[in-house]
Amino acid sequence: MAKLPSVPTGDDLPIVVIAGRPNVGKSTLFNRLVGRRQALVADTPGVTRDRKEAECTVRGRRIRLIDTAGLEESAPDTLYGRMRASSESAVAQADLVVFCIDARAGITPADEHFAAWIRRQGRPVLLVANKAEGRQGAAAAMEAFALGLGTPLAISAEHGEGLSELMGEIADRMPPEAPAEPVVEPPQYGEDGEELDERPPGPLRLAIVGRPNAGKSTLLNRLLGEERMITGPEPGLTRDSVTVLLHDEDGPIQLVDTAGLRRRARVEDGLEKMSTSATIEALKMAEVVVLALDATLGVHEQDLQIARLIEREGRCCVLALNKWDAVEDRIATRQAISDRIETSLAQMRGIPVVSFSALTGANVHKLLPVVRRAHEVWNKRIPTGALNRWFEMMLERHSPPLVGGRRLKLRYMTQAKARPPTFILFGTRAELLPEDYQRYLVNGLREAFDLPGTPIRLLLRGTR
Ligand code: GDP
Ligand code: GDP
């Protein structure tokens, strides 16, 4: 057998190796991380024959990324055997092995075999469950726990989900940089010492939405006027979206798809209609959404509709009661609005509310700190130990109900991801858990772990 070339290490870049059996999506992931469609991707096992290498940047850190051929077990003189030999030399030099499985296919014997092999190589491993798109994806991904390679990170290489978390995890595991490099970011902790989820690079992304005339443009101008606009509109993701960066003392915030600017950018065309598709477009780009209301009008059904869209997209929401200068009975108004929100938006209980006047500027400065706080909640990570101590207490307080005459056995919970906080509940026939018990748990999570206002997802995972 011809000797395989070893991995070039002429420069000192850390080496990250993507490994896994054929067809789990390694090439797709490689392309995503490298940012170019470089490796051939096809739906036939074993299409990627040669090792692909590229230099790329994750979180500002240059790395050498290697996409191995499938680590398929077989005799060394077969094609698979040669591939495996190729993987071996790459893995041996890896600073990190990104071990991929296919969450939709579940754990196969080949995955188990290579997980065991990878463990024996003694290199740091990051377990990635690919093809985990959609709401059920994270739950499917958790099966990979069984491989004994740590907590699986659910991603979808093809749909671009979970990639910023992945990049953060990779960057965190890189060896310390040469001393010449100045920036070493400390880990971030929440108020109670929980580690916060990895942030995607760049500023917090904020959208301001609301019905026409709520005062969105006025608010935008006020924010930009007070906080100084640093960069002008730049080409956005969609034809007529607009992005603006503003800075306050806590750092930059990127305003995405601001309807106000958008409207002004167009030729004067009379009354603006609320476009649901434009709102959804803005939500998708944002992390935090400010829903602006004209407080003199109270809460309108359309406002609730927008709030539900925000919940559905899993974004965190801050309710902005604008035109507060024109409100006569402030206490009664605030109470009426809060009551309406609490009863109509139970799935976002504790939603932060700020009142101000965009027109006069009074109290507008309160908005951004609330936005940042909401963003932290949305990013929060609950340690599994604390989560399960709480969970046991909840089970004791109220036993899970009988379903079909038999009691459900709920075993444990884990937080699969943040942004928004997403939990997986494992147990025998857990998927049958009635909605009121799910609500009991979600409301309990919100209170126990201080998660006001954010959407919370609870995924049920039946085990045998
Ligand atoms: P490799 O053999 O491990 O390099 O896998 P490929 O990157 O060639 O991907 C195998 C197949 O899985 C291709 O058809 C991809 O389009 C598909 N695939 C890759 N990533 C995803 C994903 O995140 N979700 C889904 N549904 N399919 C994916
Ligand atoms: P948009 O359609 O949501 O962008 O709303 P605009 O920013 O264009 O504001 C609609 C109208 O409400 C304008 O006449 C504004 O001057 C007025 N307005 C905006 N903010 C305030 C406010 O805080 N108080 C009062 N009294 N009027 C406001």
Can you give the pLDDT at residue 374? 96
Per-residue pLDDT band at 178 (split at 50, 70, 90): low
Q: Are residues 267 and 331 in the same domain?
A: yes
Q: Are residues 390 and 271 in the same domain?
A: no
Out of 338, 360, 379, a domain closes at 379
| Ligand 2: centre distance to CA 373 (Å) | 26
Widest pairwise Cα distance in the chain: 86
Can you give the pLDDT at residue 46? 46
| Residue 396 phi, psi (nearest 5) | -70, -40
Is residue 41 packed enough to be buried (19+ CB in 10 Å), middle (13-18) or exposed (0-12)? Answer: middle
> Which atom of ligand 2 is least distant from the CA of 259?
4
Average pLDDT over residues 142-167: 87
| Ligand 1: centre distance to CA 29 (Å) | 8
In 3D space, the residue among 175, 165, 155 whose CA is nearest the CA of residue 16 turns out to be 175
Contact residues for 176 (Cβ-Cβ < 8 A; gap 6+) = 184
- Residue 193 within any structural domain of the chain: no
In the DSSP assignment, the letter for residue 39 is: S
Cα-Cα-Cα-Cα torsion 240, 246, 251, 254, nearest 10 degrees, comes to: -10
- Residue 194 within any structural domain of the chain: no
Q: Are residues 161 and 217 in the same domain?
A: no
Q: Cβ distance 222 to 356 under 8 Å?
A: no
* Residue 306 scores a pLDDT above 70: yes
| ipTM of predicted complex | 0.57
210 touches ligand 2 (CB under 6 Å) = yes
Out of 379, 414, 441, a domain closes at 379
Q: Are residues 369 and 422 in the same domain?
A: no
Q: Are residues 220 and 355 in the same domain?
A: yes
216 touches ligand 2 (CB under 6 Å) = yes
Is residue 160 packed enough to be buried (19+ CB in 10 Å), middle (13-18) or exposed (0-12)? Answer: exposed
Which residues constitute the domain of residue 416? 384-462
Q: What percentage of the chain reaches a pLDDT higher than 70? A: 75
Average pLDDT over residues 221-235: 52
22 is in an annotated binding site: yes
Q: Are residues 367 and 330 in the same domain?
A: yes
- Residue 195 within any structural domain of the chain: no
Nearest CA to ligand 2 atom 19: 215
Question: Counting ligands in written order, which one lies closest to the CA of residue 166?
Answer: 1
Determine how β-strand 402-403 pairs with β-strand 353-355: unpaired
Nearest CA to ligand 1 atom 5: 25
In the DSSP assignment, the letter for residue 432 is: G
Which segment, 114-128, 217-231, 306-320, is predicted with the most confidence on average? 306-320
Label residues 296-308 b or e (16+ Cβ within 10 Å = b). eeebeeebeebbe
Question: Counting ligands in written order, which one lies closest to the CA of residue 162?
Answer: 1
Per-residue pLDDT band at 447 (split at 50, 70, 90): very high
Can you give the pLDDT at residue 3? 41
- Residue 441 within any structural domain of the chain: yes
Contact residues for 75 (Cβ-Cβ < 8 A; gap 6+) = 81
Q: How big is the CA angle at 262 (ends 309 and 313), to the nearest 5 degrees?
A: 15
| Ligand 2: centre distance to CA 311 (Å) | 26
Q: Three-state DSSP class for 317?
A: strand
CA distances for 207 relative to 222, 273, 316, 371, 373, angstroms: 15, 18, 11, 11, 15
Q: Are residues 27 and 82 in the same domain?
A: yes
Q: Are residues 167 and 248 in the same domain?
A: no
Check which CATH number belongs to the domain holding 429 and give it: 3.30.300.20
Out of 321, 354, 379, a domain closes at 379
Nearest CA to ligand 2 atom 9: 215
21 is in an annotated binding site: yes
Determine how β-strand 406-407 pairs with β-strand 402-403: antiparallel
Q: Are residues 144 and 37 in the same domain?
A: yes
Question: Counting ligands in written order, which one lies closest to the CA of residue 50?
Answer: 1
Q: Are residues 215 and 325 in the same domain?
A: yes
Interatomic CA distance for residues 286 and 275, integer angstroms: 17
* Residue 257 scores a pLDDT above 70: no
Query: How many domains would you assign to the chain?
Result: 3
105 is in an annotated binding site: no
Can you give the pLDDT at residue 394? 96
Nearest CA to ligand 1 atom 8: 41
Q: Are residues 339 and 421 in the same domain?
A: no
Interatomic CA distance for residues 260 and 254, integer angstroms: 15
Take residue 368 and report the two structure tokens written for it: 């951004």
